[in-house]
């Protein structure tokens, strides 16, 4: 039996049997090659459709602004689409093309830890639907979450459940040639070990990690990022990092170096979340990243 299948079938009381060889990281030919993108989430304070205040920027305006920054690509977060009908998605795709922008990928917010079967199906259906939308937009990757343990549940049960749903989502993604990228986003992916416990059992050539450089709250986030980087299919690079939960300015050259050391090949999307107005901060950080990625 393939070792991923064995790991998946073994997830009952324990997570991963000791002594089993882990799946290999991506085998990348040649040196690292990184392309710059900008995550729409960087402008969340202007784009947010879920807040009490009316958004002051549309997704179309974000695309227009990104084009003035002379970027090769943008990452379009699902939260900011006012419509998901095919006609509107085609309009967004054309707008990006007219502005000279590729769609590096999309990002969805899901939770695969719900014990309730109906909620599980709802979450899976949403991920599948956005996989198809991502393919229509021309996106290469789609960021997904695993979720968090719910009241009355256990870590082991939540992990087993998430692995099963991720596998189903990946099977669907393969049909549409979209990489699903699991983010280190707290919950059951709060540490490198937890994240890789979810990654290693999945049987799919269309699955990997969405490496968010600002999400580990461990004593040494850089070491944990370096450990996970060989599995990355997308990177969301933040300007802050949180060793042991303490906020500090990220060492951007160090982050880029660990990606080079992993021979990462793919998009690096700036995902700005710091306090300064992104309209002022984003252009400055993009200039820094252009030099580092060159």
The pLDDT profile of the chain, 294 residues, written as one tens digit per residue, is 333 333 333 332 333 333 333 456 877 888 899 999 999 999 999 999 887 889 999 999 999 999 999 999 999 999 999 999 999 999 999 999 999 999 999 999 999 999 999 999 999 999 999 999 999 999 999 999 999 999 999 999 999 999 999 999 999 999 999 999 999 999 999 999 999 999 999 999 999 999 999 999 999 999 999 999 999 999 999 999 999 999 999 999 999 999 999 999 999 999 999 999 999 999 999 999 999 999
C-beta of residue 132 within 8 angstroms of C-beta of residue 108 = no
CA angle, 285 as apex, 283 and 290 as ends, to 5°? 95
38: closest CA among 294, 225, 278?
278
User: CA distances (Å), 39 to each of 32, 47, 49, 68, 125, in order?
Assistant: 21, 12, 16, 15, 24
* CATH architecture of structural domain 31-293: Alpha-Beta Barrel (3.20)
- Whether the CB-CB separation of 161 and 11 falls below 8 Å is answered with no
Has this prediction a pTM greater than 0.85? Answer: yes
Spatial CA neighbour of 199 closest among 161, 152, 173, 166: 166
CA gyration radius, the chain = 19
**Where do the structural domains in the chain lie, given as residue ranges?**
31-293
């Amino acid at each position: 039996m393939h070792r991923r299948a064995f790991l998946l079938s073994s997830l009952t009381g324990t997570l991963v049997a000791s002594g089993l060889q882990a799946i290999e990281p991506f085998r990348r030919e040649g040196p690292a090659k990184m392309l710059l993108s900008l995550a729409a989430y960087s402008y969340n304070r202007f784009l947010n459709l879920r807040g009490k205040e009316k958004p002051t920027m549309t997704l179309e305006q974000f695309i227009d602004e990104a084009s003035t920054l002379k970027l090769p690509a943008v990452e379009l977060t699902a939260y900011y689409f006012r419509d998901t009908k095919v006609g509107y998605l085609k309009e967004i795709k054309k707008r990006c093309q007219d502005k000279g922008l590729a769609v590096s990928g999309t990002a969805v917010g899901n939770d695969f830890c719900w014990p309730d079967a109906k909620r599980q199906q709802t979450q899976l259906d949403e991920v599948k639907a956005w996989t198809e939308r991502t393919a229509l937009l021309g996106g290469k990757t789609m960021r997904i979450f695993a979720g968090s343990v719910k009241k009355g549940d256990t870590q082991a049960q939540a992990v087993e459940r998430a692995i099963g749903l991720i596998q189903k989502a990946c099977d669907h993604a393969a049909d549409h040639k979209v990489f699903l990228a699991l983010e280190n986003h707290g919950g059951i992916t709060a540490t490198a070990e937890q994240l890789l416990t979810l990654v290693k059992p999945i049987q799919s050539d269309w699955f990997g990690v969405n490496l968010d450089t600002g999400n580990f709250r461990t004593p040494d986030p850089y070491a944990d990022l370096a450990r996970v980087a060989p599995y990355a299919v997308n990177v969301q690079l933040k300007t802050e990092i949180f060793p042991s939960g303490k906020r500090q300015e990220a060492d951007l050259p160090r982050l880029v170096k660990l990606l080079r050391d992993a021979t990462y090949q793919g998009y690096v999307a700036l995902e700005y979340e710091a306090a300064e107005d992104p309209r002022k901060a984003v252009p400055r950080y993009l200039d820094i990243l252009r030099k580092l990625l060159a």
